[in-house]
Amino acid sequence: MVIVMEETATEEQISGVIDKLVRLGFDIHRSTGVRHTVLGAVGEHDIDWRDIELLEGVKEVLRITAPYKLASKSFKADGTKIKIKDVVIGGREVVVMAGPCTVESRDQVMAIAEIVSRSGAKVLRGGAFKPRTSPYSFQGLGEEGLKYLRQAADRHDLLVVSEVMEPSQIPLFIRYVDILQIGARNMQNFNLLREVGRINKPVLLKRGPAATIEETLLAAEYIMSGGNHEVILCERGIRTFEPYLRNTFDISAIPVFKKLSHLPVAADPSHATGRRDKVAPVAQAAVAAGADALLIEVHNDPDNALCDGAQSLLPEQFEQLMHRLRLIAEAVDREVAPGVEEAVR
Amino acid sequence: MVIVMEETATEEQISGVIDKLVRLGFDIHRSTGVRHTVLGAVGEHDIDWRDIELLEGVKEVLRITAPYKLASKSFKADGTKIKIKDVVIGGREVVVMAGPCTVESRDQVMAIAEIVSRSGAKVLRGGAFKPRTSPYSFQGLGEEGLKYLRQAADRHDLLVVSEVMEPSQIPLFIRYVDILQIGARNMQNFNLLREVGRINKPVLLKRGPAATIEETLLAAEYIMSGGNHEVILCERGIRTFEPYLRNTFDISAIPVFKKLSHLPVAADPSHATGRRDKVAPVAQAAVAAGADALLIEVHNDPDNALCDGAQSLLPEQFEQLMHRLRLIAEAVDREVAPGVEEAVR
Amino acid sequence: MVIVMEETATEEQISGVIDKLVRLGFDIHRSTGVRHTVLGAVGEHDIDWRDIELLEGVKEVLRITAPYKLASKSFKADGTKIKIKDVVIGGREVVVMAGPCTVESRDQVMAIAEIVSRSGAKVLRGGAFKPRTSPYSFQGLGEEGLKYLRQAADRHDLLVVSEVMEPSQIPLFIRYVDILQIGARNMQNFNLLREVGRINKPVLLKRGPAATIEETLLAAEYIMSGGNHEVILCERGIRTFEPYLRNTFDISAIPVFKKLSHLPVAADPSHATGRRDKVAPVAQAAVAAGADALLIEVHNDPDNALCDGAQSLLPEQFEQLMHRLRLIAEAVDREVAPGVEEAVR
Amino acid sequence: MVIVMEETATEEQISGVIDKLVRLGFDIHRSTGVRHTVLGAVGEHDIDWRDIELLEGVKEVLRITAPYKLASKSFKADGTKIKIKDVVIGGREVVVMAGPCTVESRDQVMAIAEIVSRSGAKVLRGGAFKPRTSPYSFQGLGEEGLKYLRQAADRHDLLVVSEVMEPSQIPLFIRYVDILQIGARNMQNFNLLREVGRINKPVLLKRGPAATIEETLLAAEYIMSGGNHEVILCERGIRTFEPYLRNTFDISAIPVFKKLSHLPVAADPSHATGRRDKVAPVAQAAVAAGADALLIEVHNDPDNALCDGAQSLLPEQFEQLMHRLRLIAEAVDREVAPGVEEAVR
C212 belongs to a structural domain: yes
Most confidently predicted of C59-68, C199-208, C302-311: C199-208
Closest alpha carbon within chain A to C3: A64
A39 belongs to a structural domain: yes
Q: How close are the terminal C-alpha atoms of chain C, in Å?
A: 60
Per-residue pLDDT for A106 more than 60? yes
The CATH number assigned to the domain holding B193 equals 3.20.20.70
Q: Edge-to-edge strand order for the sheet containing D2-5?
A: D27-32, D37-42, D2-5, D58-62
Predicted confidence at residue A127, as pLDDT, reads 93
Per-residue pLDDT for C132 more than 70? no
Q: Are residues A99 and A56 in the same domain?
A: no
Q: Which helix (H) or strand (E) holds B296?
A: strand B293-297
Q: What ipTM was assigned to the predicted interfaces of this complex?
A: 0.90
Q: Are residues D20 and D111 in the same domain?
A: no
Q: Are residues A32 and A152 in the same domain?
A: no
Residue numbers in C near D277 (CB within 8 A): 54
**Does the beta-carbon distance from D188 to C131 stay under 8 Å?**
yes
Predicted confidence at residue D138, as pLDDT, reads 67
Residue numbers in B near C332 (CB within 8 A): 284, 324, 328
Q: Are residues D107 and D57 in the same domain?
A: no
- Tell me the average pLDDT across C205-231: 95
**Does the beta-carbon distance from D190 to C131 stay under 8 Å?**
yes
Q: What is the rounded CA–CA span in Å between residue B176 and residue B98? A: 17
Residue of B217, B242, B246, B311 to mutate when probing chain C, most C C-beta within 10 A: B242
Q: To the nearest whole angstrom, how far is the Cα of B236 from the nearest Cα of chain A?
A: 15
Q: Are residues B35 and B93 in the same domain?
A: no
Q: Which residue in the set C218, C277, C310 is minimally distant from D133, CB to CB?
A: C218
Predicted confidence at residue A223, as pLDDT, reads 96
Confidence of residue D214 (pLDDT cuts 50, 70, 90): very high
A68 belongs to a structural domain: no
Closest alpha carbon within chain D to B35: D65
**Does the beta-carbon distance from D240 to A245 stay under 8 Å?**
no
Choose one of B62, B92, B110: the last residue of a domain. B62
Phi, psi of D28 (to 5 degrees): -120, 130
How would you class A345 by CB atoms within 10 Å of its CB: exposed for 0-12, middle for 13-18, buried for 19 or more?
Answer: exposed
Query: In total, how many domains does chain D have?
Result: 2
Q: Which helix (H) or strand (E) holds D307?
A: none
Q: To the nearest whole angstrom, how far is the Cα of A212 from the nearest Cα of chain B?
A: 10
B68 belongs to a structural domain: no
Residue numbers in A near C34 (CB within 8 A): 42, 44
Closest alpha carbon within chain C to A210: C241
Structure confidence by residue, pLDDT tens digits, A81-95? 999 999 999 999 999
Q: Which residue in the set D281, D327, D328 is minimally distant from A290, CB to CB?
A: D281
Q: Are residues A144 and A279 in the same domain?
A: yes
Confidence of residue A42 (pLDDT cuts 50, 70, 90): confident
Q: Are residues C168 and C45 in the same domain?
A: no
**Does the beta-carbon distance from B222 to A135 stay under 8 Å?**
yes
Residue numbers in A near C13 (CB within 8 A): none
C68 belongs to a structural domain: no
Q: Which residue in the set A35, A59, A241 is minimally distant from C241, CB to CB?
A: A241
Amino acid at C14: I
Q: Which residue in the set D6, D33, D40 is minimally distant from B31, CB to CB?
A: D40
Predicted confidence at residue B262, as pLDDT, reads 97
Record the pTM: 0.91
How many residues make up chain A in this entry?
Answer: 345
Residue numbers in B near A132 (CB within 8 A): 190
Would you tell me the crossing angle of helices C276-288 and B276-288 to the nearest 10 degrees?
140
Average pLDDT, chain D: 91
Choose one of C30, C62, C94: the last residue of a domain. C62
Q: To the nearest whole angstrom, how far is the Cα of C211 from the nearest Cα of chain D?
A: 9
Q: Are residues C55 and C125 in the same domain?
A: no
C29 belongs to a structural domain: yes
Residue numbers in B near C210 (CB within 8 A): 241
Q: What is the rounded CA–CA span in Å between residue A38 and residue A40? A: 7
Q: Are residues B129 and B254 in the same domain?
A: yes
**Beta strand pairing call for A95-99 and A87-89:** unpaired
Q: To the nearest whole angstrom, how far is the Cα of C248 from the nearest Cα of chain B?
A: 6
- Tell me the average pLDDT across D294-311: 85
Q: Which residue in the set B131, B197, B222 is minimally distant from A190, CB to CB?
A: B131
Confidence of residue D68 (pLDDT cuts 50, 70, 90): confident
**Does the beta-carbon distance from D194 to C136 stay under 8 Å?**
no
Q: Are residues B49 and B147 in the same domain?
A: no
How would you class D317 by CB atoms within 10 Å of its CB: exposed for 0-12, middle for 13-18, buried for 19 or more?
Answer: middle
Predicted confidence at residue A137, as pLDDT, reads 62
Per-residue pLDDT for C136 more than 70? no
Name the interface residues of A facing D (CB cutoff 8 Å).
210, 212-214, 238, 240-245, 248-256, 259, 272-273, 277-278, 281-282, 284-290, 324, 327-328, 330-332
For chain B, residues with pLDDT lower than 70 are 34, 44, 64-66, 131-138, 342-345
Size of interface B-D (CB pairs under 8 A): 63
**Does the beta-carbon distance from C272 to B290 stay under 8 Å?**
no
Q: Residue C156 contacts by C-beta under 8 Å, 6 or more apart in sequence?
A: C113, C114, C117, C124
- Tell me the average pLDDT across A5-14: 90
Q: Are residues B32 and B161 in the same domain?
A: no
**Does the beta-carbon distance from D6 to B74 stay under 8 Å?**
yes
**Does the beta-carbon distance from C50 to D209 stay under 8 Å?**
no
Residue numbers of the domain that contains D284:
82-343
Confidence of residue C251 (pLDDT cuts 50, 70, 90): very high
DSSP-H helix ranges across B261-314: 269-273, 276-288
B73 belongs to a structural domain: no
Residue of A17, A19, A51, A307 to mutate when probing chain B, most B C-beta within 10 A: A51
Name the interface residues of B facing D (CB cutoff 8 Å).
2, 4, 6-8, 29, 31, 33-36, 38, 40, 42, 44, 59-60, 62, 64-66, 74, 77, 239-241, 243
Phi, psi of C21 (to 5 degrees): -70, -40
Predicted confidence at residue D136, as pLDDT, reads 58
- Tell me the average pLDDT across D322-334: 97
Per-residue pLDDT for A147 more than 60? yes
Residue numbers in D near B38 (CB within 8 A): 2, 40, 64
Chains near D with 3+ CB pairs less than 8 A apart are A, B, C
- Using alpha carbons only, how large is chain A's radius of gyration in Å? 23
How many residues make up chain C in this entry?
Answer: 345
Residue numbers in D near B29 (CB within 8 A): 29, 31
Q: What is the rounded CA–CA span in Å between residue C131 and residue C307? A: 11
Q: What is the rounded CA–CA span in Å between residue B180 and residue B160? A: 9
Percent of the residues in chain A that have a pLDDT greater than 70, as a whole number: 94
Span of C199-208, C285-294, D28-37 with lowest mean pLDDT? D28-37
The CATH number assigned to the domain holding A6 equals 3.30.70.1140
Choose one of D62, D96, D113: the last residue of a domain. D62
Q: Please, are residues D208 and D188 in contact by the beta-carbon 8 Å criterion?
A: yes
Predicted confidence at residue C65, as pLDDT, reads 55
Q: What is the rounded CA–CA span in Å between residue D299 and residue D98? A: 9
Q: Are residues C54 and C152 in the same domain?
A: no
Q: Any idea what DSSP says for residue C185?
A: G
Q: What is the rounded CA–CA span in Å between residue B280 and residue B324? A: 9
D72 belongs to a structural domain: no
Most confidently predicted of B100-109, C140-149, C283-292: C283-292
Phi, psi of A59 (to 5 degrees): -85, -55
Per-residue pLDDT for D45 more than 80? no
Per-residue pLDDT for A211 more than 70? yes
Q: To the nearest whole angstrom, how far is the Cα of A287 from the nearest Cα of chain D?
A: 8
Q: Please, are residues B296 and B318 in contact by the beta-carbon 8 Å criterion?
A: yes
Predicted confidence at residue C309, as pLDDT, reads 78
Q: Any idea what DSSP says for residue B239?
A: -
